[in-house]
Amino acid sequence: MEFVITTYCKIKNNAIWCNGQKLFSVKEMPASDFLKEAYKFSEMNYPKFHKMDNLSKLGLIAAEICFKNSDLLKNNDPENTAIILSNHSSSLDTDRIHQNSIANKDRYLPSPAIFVYTLPNIVIGEIAIKYKITGENAFLVSDKFDAETLVNYTQQLLKTNMAGAALCGWINYDGSDYEAFIYLVEIQKDSIKSVNFKALNQTIVNQLYQN
């Protein structure tokens, strides 16, 4: 069995790329404002987006761009599609907001809507809900982008039939610092062959992340 990357998306520096092509960019602005502009560009029409924390917003936009440019959800069973994401800052951006809301004992008013996002894997849940994906999932926190672990984990799931396809990558958001790199992995079949697909291996994943 050969595993291939069929689509990939990068979001950073006020711009969105898909499969190496720049799709959208805006002038420099605060990260949270950029997410609003990116949401409009994505034409997602998903009111729940506005209730999410910034990490989930970033992940959802990256997933939306990938799925819009892919047939993965047509070719694969969502119940057998895995989501494996990773980052450096965990949910620290939201953790700080929550901490500020409970720092003053005289004005102790934590927000339930913020508290529910004080785990990094909630972004996986939001993507899973939006696209009805119910396969295996994992969120890994590491110092820097770790292609080796992501590729090994994905290959293991696919080789052992724990998944038939996967959405993988790196979603990091902390203050003004944000970066998303999402790629879709499918099993190479005659029905989905394309010269643009890239083999799933550590070298390719690292190249796509760095370019």
Partner 1 sequence: MDALIEKLKVQIIEQLNLAEVKPEDIKPDGPLFGDGLGLDSIDALELIVLLEKHYGIKIQNPADGKKIFESLRTMAEFIKSHGKS
**Contact positions toward partner 1, by CB under 8 A?**
47, 50-51, 109-113, 116
Least distance from partner 1 to the Cβ atom of residue 190, Å: 43
Of 63, 42, 47, the closest CA to residue 184 belongs to: 63
Least distance from partner 1 to the Cβ atom of residue 117, Å: 10
Q: Which is nearer to partner 1, 10 or 57 (CB)?
A: 57
Q: Which is nearer to partner 1, 3 or 39 (CB)?
A: 39
Q: Tell me how far apart the alpha carbons of residues 108 and 125 are, in angstroms, rounded to a whole number.
A: 28
Q: Which is nearer to partner 1, 78 or 110 (CB)?
A: 110
Kind of pairing between the strands at 3-12 and 177-187:
antiparallel
Q: Tell me how far apart the alpha carbons of residues 131 and 60 are, in angstroms, rounded to a whole number.
A: 10
Of 167, 149, 169, 143, the closest CA to residue 90 belongs to: 143
Least distance from partner 1 to the Cβ atom of residue 126, Å: 13
Give residue 79's identity as a one-letter amino acid code.
E
Phi then psi dihedrals of residue 182, to 5 deg = -120, 135
Contact criterion met (CB below 8 Å) for 82 and 187: no
Q: Which is nearer to partner 1, 32 or 188 (CB)?
A: 32
Least distance from partner 1 to the Cβ atom of residue 50, Å: 4
Q: Which is nearer to partner 1, 117 or 170 (CB)?
A: 117
